[in-house]
A and B are shown apart, each in its own frame.
Chain A
Amino acid sequence: MTNHWIDLQHSDCILIMGSNAAEHHPIAFKWMLRGKEKNGTRLIHVDPRFTRTSARCDYHVPLRSGTDIAFLGGMINYILSSDKYFKDYVVNYTNASFIVAEDFGFNDGLFTGYDKDKKKYNKETWVFEKDFSGNPKKDPSLNHPRCVFQLLKKHYSRYTLEKASSITGVSKEDLMKVYTDYGSTGTGTRAGTICYALGWTHHSTGTQNIRTMAMIQLLLGNIGICGGGVNALRGEPNVQGSTDHCILYGNLPGYLKMPQASHVSLEKYLKKYTPVTNDPQSPNYYQNYPKFYVSFLKSLFDDKGTPENEFGYSWMPKLDDGVPYSLMHLFDAMYKGTVKGLFSVGTDPAVSSPNANKVRKALEKLDWLVSANIFDNETCSFWKGPGVDPKKIKTECFLLPASASMEKEGSQTNSGRWVQWKYKAAEAPGEAIPVGEMFIKIIGAVQTLYAKEGGINSEPILNFKCDYHDRSGNFVALEAAKQINGYFLRDTVIKDKVFKKGQLVPTFGMLQDDGSTCSGNWLMAGSFTAGGENNMTKRGKDDPTGLGLYPNWTWAWPVNRRILYNRASCDINGRPYNPKRKLLEWTGEKWVGDVPDGGWAPMADKQNGKYPFIMKADGVGSLFGPGMAEGPFSEHYEPYESPLSKNPLSSQLNNPALHVFDNDMDQTASGSEKFPYVCTTYSCTEHWCSGALTRWQAWLLEMQPEAYIEISENLAQEKGIKNGERVKVSSARGFVKCVAMVTKRFRPFLVEGRTVHQVGLPFNYGWLFPEDGGDSANILTPSVGDANTHCPEYKAFMVNVTKV
């Protein structure tokens, strides 16, 4: 989230799209509802299904799964053609005025530079024209035919009301209702925000779904302001922390990049990822990248990492250039026999991964599987799953009992980036221990073996600093937390202030690239004070701005900033656009309010002033975004499995940059009569994710006891299915049996002149427990993913439903 939970109440209009906030984030929804009751916030829910969220919003608009870009593209068209954008913001704080290279173009669903064979773009034309000093050429009048603004206008002019309606299945009236309500926030004094979740990420165009909305937010001047922002309602307790620490193939803690094979030296690697700008007004904060990365290496290898050995850079694993190693790729490699051992910690991929039958087959090919969890699950026990003969499974399996959340000390980061410390309330049952302890003991045992026997590239293992335990070997989270924050490795003087060796680094601005500091994750620098006080434990309730920022309640990254890009809440002179919700204000000497995105003067000061989007090399928000795999603007493509055989907007049916798996278990069926119904998957309030924790809890299971599919009354009538009857749901990959819930809350869509039915089922169930609860909805889902992130397309695929 750019903003935070409490801030939602300050919005004038909240678009909940790709999220079922009331069911999956009930306490977040409280703040939206409080806005509605106290501040007149307009609540809009756009979702294929009428849910508990829809029930409490001002209105619900049903849309066919996988057509969000068509819906939002129509909104961009409305905003631009009706002059609803916030011009001051767009001109100053975005790249709307930048002139795009002459040979950039778009034709029939494809941008320039597409390589059909590689299914990849060459992005050479996705660039700006540069002036004599190397900075992008600009036309602040926004009239130049090749400025981003004009290209944007042209691109989305194709998303007419008729077209958007025909693709999405939303009536023109409903589209206009949302467009006008949301478009009304394009002024300095009104705020609109988007609350999305997996309903946007789980698509083959997931990243572009979010980007399209980010563009809308920039056009309406809604980023960096109180009640605005782009807010991902994240769905796991510490998914923000786990993402920040990057248990992700492409990143290292703090979103640093995993080195690739072509980065043959530390110098080459740092050069690649340290952006440069010639614009003196752009802070270009990532110019500090080398400080963050070297400090990271120092946190791993301590005094074993030296300038002479590139601080250990060469020991670290490198990815092959451009090759993804995501979850779906992992299971594909496992299915092919490449991956032989797996650590599966606090996760249940046999239920939660797409194409679960393939995942389960892949697990059978493992030599060993180490699982850690608080309950058994379908992954740990895959060897006794349905249709599996244990006698034929060679895999050695370990199931390690873990402490639950309240049985250990440590921090959890919420979606608003609040890093909250929690305490140990009781001992874990039996022999259960924290996952952190398991891992320091596993690496300890591995170190012992390498010390004794030697082995290939043993340096990163033997030199890995791993003393985060007490004398009895118990994990001490506080010690790891300090390592993550970072400290000075020798006495250092910064701006006349002396920091002693061993003293904690109070902010990432003090990290160094010469090996004199360490920090396991630069974003977390400042979670402790230099004096060693743990800011994450704070419980102060003071609220100086009156906006619910609570600066002394725990600590938020970065540097306790509660709303990101907050300098954009003020005009170029530092005066708040909205004096009633004054997040920040420039006094002439300093910023007052939230912790500003850098203390520099506002950008009207040509000498000392800086642009507000400090993490972007050019200092502004990107309406034109060349970083994306499938285009600098978004475009509607049909889901990989779709009811249509032709894209109503172009000849390009699917995302042209998709990575498709093609082994025998990756069957798909698009535009097929065998699988005529659009299907989506979701969770419910009463369960969590795969249900691996909640199905074992009687109070929760009692409320949602078994797998079900929601189908409309129309479809039920067509198929002769009665409420509560058992049905079989099948896709090209497999089938599940479950209870039919016939409901008014799903309605058929009118798409391209014909009726399209949509159904949906929760992904919370698995064969292990409860015994008669049904199996995973992911038996149905395809292993197809977003072109940028490889996030699976769980939210739009094709099925059939028949009576059992």
Chain B
Amino acid sequence: MDVTRRGFLTISGAVGSGIALSSLGINLNPTKAYANELNKMNRVRTAKQVTTVCCYCAVGCGLICSVDKVTGKIFNIEGDPDHPVNEGSLCAKGAGFFDLTEANKYRLRKVLYRAPKSDRWEEKDWNWAFARIARLVKDTRDKDFITTNSKGQIVNRTESIGHLGSSNVDSEECWLMSVISRAMGLVYVDHQARV
């Protein structure tokens, strides 16, 4: 018997009582109660399993997030054994995918604004930010808008606003950025595919 079968053999059936013991985050305490260690497997079994795709290179490995049904938090992420490309396996970055979730204390959680000549970020709300950004976009665009070029040809563009990014957001988001930039008249439009 060479155990080659990967993954969650049975996902059905509630086992044990290890659910919701800890809600999120990497537990830095290496000496959890032994019973709890054993229960991690049970937590995975009773969790909601959600498939996703790795966010690093473009191999596109499949992953499964185990989500605690009570807290709604992800507590474990592993390779998707059914995925035909990675077959459950992951490299160092993929294996550490969990550290990109809310558990990472460095994740940005608030809208931050830095006023001209200020030396710090301040927290703002979304509505304020969208309104302010829209104001800046409109003023910059209207001020420098190029209707015709030096040859008198209609070009309807703005060279005073640029857009960069991104190859690490979803396709639907890429499409929106690509077309919204053009609707606003931007021509300096580029992203990581160039570099």
B175: shortest Cβ distance to chain A, in Å? 4
Is B6 close to A, CB under 8 A? no
- B192, A236: Cβ atoms under 8 Å? yes
Mask: chain A, 270-313; 1 = CB below 8 Å from B; 0 = not? 00000000000000000000000000000110000000000000
- A443, B180: Cβ atoms under 8 Å? yes
Is A352 close to B, CB under 8 A? yes
- A464, B180: Cβ atoms under 8 Å? yes
- A318, B157: Cβ atoms under 8 Å? yes
- B136, A457: Cβ atoms under 8 Å? no
Cα–Cα distance between A339 and B143 once the two chains are bound (Å): 12
Cα–Cα distance between A5 and B57 once the two chains are bound (Å): 12
Is A405 close to B, CB under 8 A? yes
- B191, A238: Cβ atoms under 8 Å? no
- A453, B138: Cβ atoms under 8 Å? yes
- B137, A685: Cβ atoms under 8 Å? no
Best-surrounded residue of A244, A343, A541, A548 (most CB of chain B within 10 A)? A343
Is A696 close to B, CB under 8 A? yes
The majority secondary structure among interface residues of chain A is mixed
B15: shortest Cβ distance to chain A, in Å? 21
B174: shortest Cβ distance to chain A, in Å? 4
Mask: chain B, 164-195; 1 = CB below 8 Å from A; 0 = not? 11111111111111111111111111111111
- In the complex, chain B residues whose CB is within 8 Å of the CB of A559: none
- B142, A456: Cβ atoms under 8 Å? yes
- A346, B178: Cβ atoms under 8 Å? no
- A239, B167: Cβ atoms under 8 Å? yes
- B57, A237: Cβ atoms under 8 Å? yes
> Could you show 10 A-B contacts with beta carbons less than 8 Å apart?
A30-B89, A237-B58, A244-B171, A314-B154, A402-B169, A430-B109, A453-B138, A455-B142, A548-B84, A789-B194
- B119, A406: Cβ atoms under 8 Å? no
Is A39 close to B, CB under 8 A? no
Evaluate whether A697 and B109 lie within 8 angstroms (CB atoms) in the complex, with A341-B136, A790-B194 already known. no
A539: shortest Cβ distance to chain B, in Å? 7
Chain A residue with the shortest CB-CB distance to B125:
A431
Chain A residue with the shortest CB-CB distance to B194:
A327
- A391, B54: Cβ atoms under 8 Å? no
Is A320 close to B, CB under 8 A? yes
A347-380 at interface with B (beta carbon < 8 Å): 347, 349, 352-354, 367-368, 370, 372-376
Is A127 close to B, CB under 8 A? no
B53-78 at interface with A (beta carbon < 8 Å): 53-63, 65, 67, 72-74, 77
- A238, B121: Cβ atoms under 8 Å? no
| Cβ 8 A contact of B176, one of A368, A396, A439, A449 | A439
Cα–Cα distance between A317 and B118 once the two chains are bound (Å): 35
Is B17 close to A, CB under 8 A? no
Cα–Cα distance between A693 and B104 once the two chains are bound (Å): 11
Task: Give the total of B residues in contact with A, Cβ under 8 Å.
Answer: 115
Is A644 close to B, CB under 8 A? no
Evaluate whether A238 and B126 lie within 8 angstroms (CB atoms) in the complex, with A264-B154, A446-B134 already known. no
Is A401 close to B, CB under 8 A? yes
| Cβ 8 A contact of A412, one of B125, B154, B171, B195 | B171
| Cβ 8 A contact of A346, one of B65, B131, B165 | B165
Cα–Cα distance between A400 and B135 once the two chains are bound (Å): 16
Mask: chain A, 514-543; 1 = CB below 8 Å from B; 0 = not? 000000110010000000000000010100
A764: shortest Cβ distance to chain B, in Å? 11
Known: A327-B164, A420-B62, A484-B171. 8 other contacts (CB 8 A): A247-B174, A383-B114, A399-B108, A410-B172, A420-B60, A456-B142, A461-B184, A693-B168
- In the complex, chain B residues whose CB is within 8 Å of the CB of A468: 172, 176
Top 9 nearest A-B pairs (CB, nearest first) are A430-B109, A414-B60, A410-B170, A346-B166, A445-B134, A345-B165, A241-B171, A401-B108, A317-B157
- In the complex, chain A residues whose CB is within 8 Å of the CB of B174: 238, 241-242, 245, 247
Chain A residue with the shortest CB-CB distance to B100:
A404
B83: shortest Cβ distance to chain A, in Å? 8
| Cβ 8 A contact of A248, one of B101, B144, B191 | B191
Is B129 close to A, CB under 8 A? yes
Is A28 close to B, CB under 8 A? yes
Evaluate whether A415 and B116 lie within 8 angstroms (CB atoms) in the complex, with A327-B194, A406-B77, A441-B126 already known. no
- B56, A688: Cβ atoms under 8 Å? yes
- B99, A698: Cβ atoms under 8 Å? yes
- A457, B167: Cβ atoms under 8 Å? no
| Cβ 8 A contact of A247, one of B60, B117, B163 | B163
| Cβ 8 A contact of B166, one of A242, A395, A423 | A242
- In the complex, chain B residues whose CB is within 8 Å of the CB of A374: 100, 107-108
Cα–Cα distance between A316 and B77 once the two chains are bound (Å): 44
Binds B, one of A41-49, A328-336, A655-663: A328-336
Cα–Cα distance between A790 and B195 once the two chains are bound (Å): 9
A223-272 at interface with B (beta carbon < 8 Å): 233-249, 252-253, 258, 261-262, 264
- B96, A700: Cβ atoms under 8 Å? yes
Chain B residue with the shortest CB-CB distance to A26:
B91
A715-764 at interface with B (beta carbon < 8 Å): none
- A343, B165: Cβ atoms under 8 Å? yes
Evaluate whether A685 and B91 lie within 8 angstroms (CB atoms) in the complex, with A242-B166, A376-B108, A402-B108 already known. yes
- B138, A449: Cβ atoms under 8 Å? yes
Evaluate whether A426 and B67 lie within 8 angstroms (CB atoms) in the complex, with A27-B89, A414-B60, A460-B183 already known. yes
Cα–Cα distance between A413 and B59 once the two chains are bound (Å): 9
